[in-house]
Amino acid sequence: MVRLLQIEFIKLWNNRASKILITSYFILLTSIALIAAIKFDIGPVKFHLAEQGIFNFPYIWHFNTFVTAIFKLFLAIVIVSMMANEYSNKTIKQNLIDGLSKKEFIASKFLTVISFSLISTVFVFVVSMILGLIYSDYNELSIIFSDLEYVFAFFFKLVGFFSFCLFLGIFVKRSAFALGFLILWVILEQIIFGILGWKFTTWEIAQNIKNFLPLESMQNLIKEPFTRLSAVQNIGQQIGEDMSFDYQVYWYEFLIVIFWTALFIYLSYALLKKRDL
């Protein structure tokens, strides 16, 4: 396993573009701390974002995992191109000839995906912990370590998303087209939802079906945290809007994402096995 990771590391780290993207990604992950620096001080209006409760435990787990997940696009580019480049450089052929089995080839890519997700998760965990310890109003251990399911959800969300990118890289074989396909897929899920709700079922059933689609199910793992903020809740109450959404992470949502991850990795392997290079 270490060997497979080393192989992928040599390929990625010697590529300047990947190196820059990976480094920027982790810098951006850390930069979420900069939100703490957002301060408005316009005469009588004093606004310090960090003091609005976004860094309170356990809310911070929810907020940070949701916001940092946006940066995953950087790694998505790296992963799509690390797969597609193997085709365009024909190095996949040489790797197989040199004695890497097709299973090992997919395994080395998947292990890289897992490592990226794991490192990101640890990163987000540490950054949030530090931010929380500085700004949180509540510092009891039991509160700090509650709601940690968001951190796990973050990990599975990344693994699922990157596995999808991996599959697209193998399926399309060209990095630019694969990324295009990714965007197309995002729109496609919305269209499927729209058509189902409009013509075939009620909007509620359509939403339930949509929750099973790959990208939507990954999105669903961590729901938007903004309406949960007490400040926003207050405004909601004032204008009489019911803002009691369900923010929980449910076990079946994990299952759906794990199912898609397994399917994408299996399909990548099946495609590689079937194709003549």
Partner 1 sequence: METILTVQHLTKKFGFLTAVKDLSFTIEKGNVYGILGPNGSGKSTTLGIILNVVNRTSGSFCWFEGNTSTHEALKKVGAIIERPNFYPYMTAVQNLKLVCKIKEVPETKIEEKLELVGLLDRKDSKFRTYSLGMKQRLAIASALLNDPEILILDEPTNGLDPQGIHQIREIIKKIAAKGTTILLASHLLDEVEKVCSHVVILRKGEKLYSGPVDGMMASHGFFELRTTAMDKLRELLEKSASFGKITQENGTLTAYLKEEMQAEELNKMLYDKGLVLSHLVKRKESLEEQFLTLTKNN
Residues at the interface with partner 1 (CB under 8 A): 3, 6-7, 10-11, 14-16, 89-91, 93-102, 104, 273-274, 276-277
Tokens representing 59 are 């809310």
CB 33 within 8 A of CB 105: no
**Contact yes or no for 78/22 (Cβ under 8 A):** yes
Query: What is the chain's length?
Result: 277
CB of 266 to partner 1, least distance (A): 18
**How far is Cα 167 from Cα 269, in angstroms, rounded to an integer?**
9
16/199 with CB nearer partner 1: 16
CB of 227 to partner 1, least distance (A): 46
Decide whether 88 or 234 has the Cβ nearer to partner 1: 88
Tokens standing for residue 264 = 């994408």
Taking the complex as a whole, the smallest distance from the CB of residue 18 to partner 1 amounts, in Å, to: 9
Residue closer to partner 1 (CB basis): 67 or 111: 111
Helices (H), the chain: 2-13, 16-31, 59-68, 72-88, 91-97, 102-135, 141-144, 149-172, 175-195, 203-210, 214-221, 230-238, 251-274
The dihedral over CA atoms of 275, 117, 177, 17, expressed in degrees to the nearest 10, equals -110
Least distance in angstroms from the C-beta of 87 to partner 1 = 11
Q: How far is the CB of 10 from partner 1 (least distance, A)?
A: 5
- What number of H helices and E strands is found in the chain? 13, 2
Distance CA 132, CA 148 (A): 13
**Closest to partner 1 by CB, 204 or 276:** 276
Shortest reach from residue 94's CB to partner 1, in Å:
4
Cβ proximity to partner 1, 235 vs 277, nearer residue: 277
Q: How far apart are CA 125 and CA 65, in angstroms?
A: 9
60 vs 80, beta carbon nearer partner 1? 80
Residue with smaller CB distance to partner 1, 86 or 253: 86
Structure-token pair, residue 242:
């019911």
CB of 148 to partner 1, least distance (A): 37
